[in-house]
Structure 1
């Protein structure tokens, strides 16, 4: 509790911020499924607002939804970047192969 109190004062976090921090701490903890279900609700494994039980977490669904959508967008950008790098590598390899083939002829 002391750490949460210090975080609240040091970073000027709201009570909603602190509830979200506590929720995420439980989600990422090594607690058993039974304990997480007790603290977060029986559907905590579902992604986005479907896995949020506001009566237990005190985190508004709109906030959980925003975090989930932002995560999905970031993962999409990362996937696209990796795929474009792979495509560029393939194109570079093809260009080198063509150049090598032409120079041996």
Structure 2
């Protein structure tokens, strides 16, 4: 049995758990896109659309990573703004220690 036949017997990963987790914990709008693609994987596979199932799997994974990256970027921006607020507050004497 060659590799292509083995690939057709096993459906691609749907990344649904990862999509749900990135939606809840990271970035809601981008995570929802990931969930939509993840939900399409098994139905496309069962319908015989193997290329569509692999494409949906790939897109679910990509959007889960994008959601995760957006959360990290948001956290970094939040930390920078909070640090700047503390520095500026200290310079202006807003903190009375």
Give me the TM-score of the superposition, normalised by structure 2.
Answer: 0.47
- If asked which structure has higher relative contact order (CA below 8 Å, sep 6+), I would say 2
Give me the TM-score of the superposition, normalised by structure 1.
Answer: 0.44
